[in-house]
């Protein structure tokens, strides 16, 4: 090779390394340093007081009503911090959760800390949360909602079914949600998700 000739293999290798570093950087940033929307959802206590008051002296029909179910879903999503889920940096696909409460299905799409809740099945859901009206009632009435949610999932009364690939779930922030639901640290969450 003469002095001044371009060394094409070295240039291609450098470009490949730079592209790899950029991709890894995006992955790490979106997975571990996403925006926290907690301040946007700090009215959980007020919502819970209102719903608890509305539950007094109600018949079983009330607990299957849109009013109760919608409010309980919002409380549950807030408690497990689902508002911090985010779109995948690579695909731009929004986080989608399918929630099965007894025989009722709901789809929840998370966009910048907000929830779009729709009745019915969800196309391309990332996870499915399966629970009962009785578990929702326990959660709403509990003094320590977080402990009640964790106990419900640990005992098997409620469960999460993973529908998307583990890499997709990680990139959308589901590791943190998993921690909120099962009460394990991030190391435990990673081990559980990838085992």
Residue pLDDT, tens place only, 102-156: 999 999 999 988 899 999 998 999 999 999 999 999 998 888 888 999 999 999 9
**Which pTM was predicted?**
0.76
Of 171, 12, 152, 9, the closest CA to residue 76 belongs to: 152
Which listed CATH number (3.30.1050, 2.60.120, 3.30.420, 3.30.1380) goes with 36-193? 3.30.1050
Whole-angstrom Cα distance, residue 50 to residue 71?
Answer: 10
Greatest CA span in the chain, whole angstroms? Answer: 90
Domain ranges of the chain: 1-33, 36-193
Whole-angstrom Cα distance, residue 30 to residue 8?
Answer: 33
Number of residues that this document lists for the chain = 195
pLDDT digits (tens, 9 = 90+) for 7-25: 778 888 889 999 888 877 7
């Amino acid at each position: 090779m003469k002095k001044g000739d371009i060394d094409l293999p070295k240039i291609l290798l450098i470009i490949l390394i730079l592209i790899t570093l950029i991709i890894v950087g995006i992955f790490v940033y979106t997975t571990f340093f996403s925006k926290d929307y907690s301040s946007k959802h700090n009215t959980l206590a007020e919502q819970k007081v209102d719903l608890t008051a509305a539950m007094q002296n109600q018949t079983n029909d009330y607990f299957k009503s849109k009013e109760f179910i919608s409010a309980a879903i919002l409380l549950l999503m807030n408690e497990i911090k689902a508002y911090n889920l985010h779109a995948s940096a690579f695909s731009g696909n929004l986080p989608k959760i399918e929630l099965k409460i007894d025989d009722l299905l709901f789809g929840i799409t998370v966009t910048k800390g907000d929830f779009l809740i729709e009745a019915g099945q969800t196309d391309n859901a990332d996870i499915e949360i399966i629970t009962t009206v009785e578990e929702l009632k326990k959660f709403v009435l509990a003094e320590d909602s977080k402990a009640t949610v964790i106990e419900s999932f640990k005992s098997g009364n409620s469960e999460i079914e993973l529908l998307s690939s583990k890499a997709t779930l990680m990139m959308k922030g589901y590791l943190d949600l998993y921690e909120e639901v099962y009460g394990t640290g991030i190391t435990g969450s990673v081990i559980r998700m990838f085992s």
